[in-house]
Structure 1
Amino acid sequence: MPVGTPEVSDAAPPSETFLIKIDQDPVFPDEFLYVISKNRDLRKVPDKIDEKEFEESFNLFVNYRLKVKHAEELGLDRSEEFVTEFETFKKDIKKPYLLENSLEEGEIKKAYSRMQEVIKASHILIQFPENANKEDSIAVSSMIEKIRSDVEKGEDFNELAYKYSDDPSAESNKGDLGYFTALQMVSPFEDAAYGLEIGEISDPVLTDFGYHLIKLESRKPNPGEVRVSHILVRTDPEDPSSEDRAKRKIAGIYDELQKEESRWEDVVSMFSEDQGSKSNGGLIPWFGVGAIVPEFENAAFSLTEIGEISNPVKTPFGFHIIRLEDRRPIPPYEEMEAMIKSKILRDSRSSLIRSQVMAMQRAKYQLWENDILYQKIKTIARENGGAAPSPDNFKQKVKEAGLLDVLLIKTSEESFAVKDLLDFIDTQKKNIKPDPGNFFQAWYDKFLETVLDEAEEKDLYQNNDEFRQLIREYRNGILLFNLMNDLVWQKALEDSLGQIEYYERHRDRYQWTERVPALVVKMNQEKQLDKIRRFLSKTRFSDGIKEKIEEEFLQDSPLLFSAESNVYEISKHDILKRLDLSNSFHEIQLEGQTVFILSGGLIAAGPKSLEETKGKLIQDYQQFLENELIASLKERYPVEINEEEKNRIYQIVVE
Structure 2
Amino acid sequence: MKKFLISTLLLAIWAGHAESLPDSIAMIVGDKKVSVAEFLFSAEKNGETNLTDKKNLESFVQLFGNFKLKVADAEAQGLDQTQAFKDELDKYKAELLSSYLSDKEAEEAVVAQEYTRMGELLDLSHILFFLPEQTVSKDTVAVYQRALEVYNRIQRGEDLESVGKELMKEDPKHVGYEHVRAFGPMKTVKAFEDKVYGMADGALSMPFRTKLGFHIVKLHRRIPNPGRREVAHILIPFKQDSVVRSDEETHQLAESLYQQIQQGADFGKLARQYSADKASAQKDGRLPVFGLGEMVQDFERVAFALQDTGEVSAPFRTPFGYHIVKLLQKLDVPALSDVQKRWHRQMAQGEWNFALYKGFDDRLKQEYHYTFYPEAYAELQALCDDYFPTDKAFWEKAEPLNKTLARIDTVDFKQNEFAAYIVRCPFSVKTYSGDFMQEVYDLFVREILTNMERKNLPKKHPEYELLLNEYRDGILLFNISNDKIWNKPMAEQKALEEAWIQELRAKYPVKVNWKALEKAVK
TM-score normalised per structure 2: 0.68
- 1:12 maps to which residue? none
2:43 is aligned with 1:36: yes
CA offset digits 1:204-237 (Å, max 9, x no partner): 333343221223222243211110111223457x
Of the three residues 439, 464, 467, the one matched with 1:473 is: 467
Of the three residues 209, 226, 229, the one matched with 1:226 is: 229
- 2:286 maps to which residue? 283
- 1:4 maps to which residue? none
- 1:610 maps to which residue? none
* CA-CA distance at 1:57 after TM superposition: 2.5
CA offset digits 1:409-454 (Å, max 9, x no partner): 99649999xxxxxxxxxxxx9xx999xxxxxx9x999998766444
Match of 1:284, SS state, is coil
Amino acid at match of 1:249: T
- 2:417 maps to which residue? none
* CA-CA distance at 1:323 after TM superposition: 1.9
- 2:15 maps to which residue? none
* CA-CA distance at 1:71 after TM superposition: 7.0
Of the three residues 18, 22, 34, the one matched with 2:24 is: 18
- 1:624 maps to which residue? 499
- 1:457 maps to which residue? 454
- 2:190 maps to which residue? 187
* CA-CA distance at 1:327 after TM superposition: 0.7
Superposed counterparts of 1:612-651, under 5 Å: 615-630=490-505, 632-635=507-510, 637=511, 639=513, 641-643=515-517, 645-648=519-522
CA offset digits 1:128-179 (Å, max 9, x no partner): 257767554211112223333444445444444344468999xxx9743112
2:483 is aligned with 1:490: yes
Amino acid at match of 1:18: S
Q: Which has the higher contact order (CA 8 A, sep 6+)?
A: 2
* CA-CA distance at 1:276 after TM superposition: 0.7
CA offset digits 1:318-345 (Å, max 9, x no partner): 4433221111112432333233334444
Query: For the structure 1 residues 28 and 265, does the alpha-carbon distance in structure 2 shift closer, same or farther, using more than 3 Å as the test?
Result: same
Superposed counterparts of 1:172-211, under 5 Å: 175-211=178-214
User: Contact conserved, 1:124 with 1:167, CA < 8 A, in 2?
Assistant: no
CA offset digits 1:271-321 (Å, max 9, x no partner): 211111112221101112233333322221121122223344444444433
Structure 1 residue runs of 5 or longer lacking an equivalent are 1-15, 376-384, 387-408, 417-428, 435-440, 495-612, 649-655
- 1:254 maps to which residue? 255
Give the share of equivalent positions with the same residue, in percent.
Answer: 25
2:108 is aligned with 1:105: yes
* CA-CA distance at 1:631 after TM superposition: 5.3
Superposed counterparts of 1:310-321, under 5 Å: 310-321=313-324
User: Contact conserved, 2:124 with 2:221, CA < 8 A, in 1?
Assistant: yes
Match of 2:273, SS state, is helix
Match of 1:324, SS state, is strand
User: Contact conserved, 2:254 with 2:323, CA < 8 A, in 1?
Assistant: no
Query: For the structure 1 residues 110 and 49, does the alpha-carbon distance in structure 2 shift closer, same or farther, using more than 3 Å as the test?
Result: farther
CA distance in 1, matches of 2:34, 2:450: 29
Match of 2:467, SS state, is helix
Superposed counterparts of 1:395-474, under 5 Å: 412=409, 452-464=449-461, 468-469=462-463, 471-474=465-468
2:121 is aligned with 1:128: no
Amino acid at match of 2:520: K
User: Contact conserved, 2:202 with 2:219, CA < 8 A, in 1?
Assistant: yes
Match of 1:202, SS state, is coil
CA distance in 2, matches of 1:126, 1:461: 52
Query: For the structure 1 residues 111 and 353, does the alpha-carbon distance in structure 2 shift closer, same or farther, using more than 3 Å as the test?
Result: closer
CA distance in 2, matches of 1:168, 1:103: 45
Amino acid at match of 1:217: H
Match of 2:285, SS state, is coil
- 2:218 maps to which residue? 215
Amino acid at match of 1:641: K
Query: For the structure 1 residues 322 and 484, does the alpha-carbon distance in structure 2 shift closer, same or farther, using more than 3 Å as the test?
Result: closer
Query: For the structure 1 residues 297 and 346, does the alpha-carbon distance in structure 2 shift closer, same or farther, using more than 3 Å as the test?
Result: farther
- How many residue pairs match? The answer is 453
Amino acid at match of 1:626: I
Amino acid at match of 2:35: V
Superposed counterparts of 1:309-388, under 5 Å: 309-345=312-348, 348-350=351-353, 353=356, 364-365=367-368
Amino acid at match of 1:95: S
User: Contact conserved, 1:19 with 1:646, CA < 8 A, in 2?
Assistant: no
User: Contact conserved, 2:316 with 2:323, CA < 8 A, in 1?
Assistant: yes
CA offset digits 1:595-636 (Å, max 9, x no partner): xxxxxxxxxxxxxxxxxx96533542233222332454344x
- 1:505 maps to which residue? none
Amino acid at match of 1:105: E
User: Contact conserved, 2:151 with 2:216, CA < 8 A, in 1?
Assistant: yes
CA distance in 2, matches of 1:116, 1:49: 57
Structure 2 residue runs of 5 or longer lacking an equivalent are 1-21, 381-390, 393-405, 414-423, 428-436
CA distance in 1, matches of 2:170, 2:45: 59
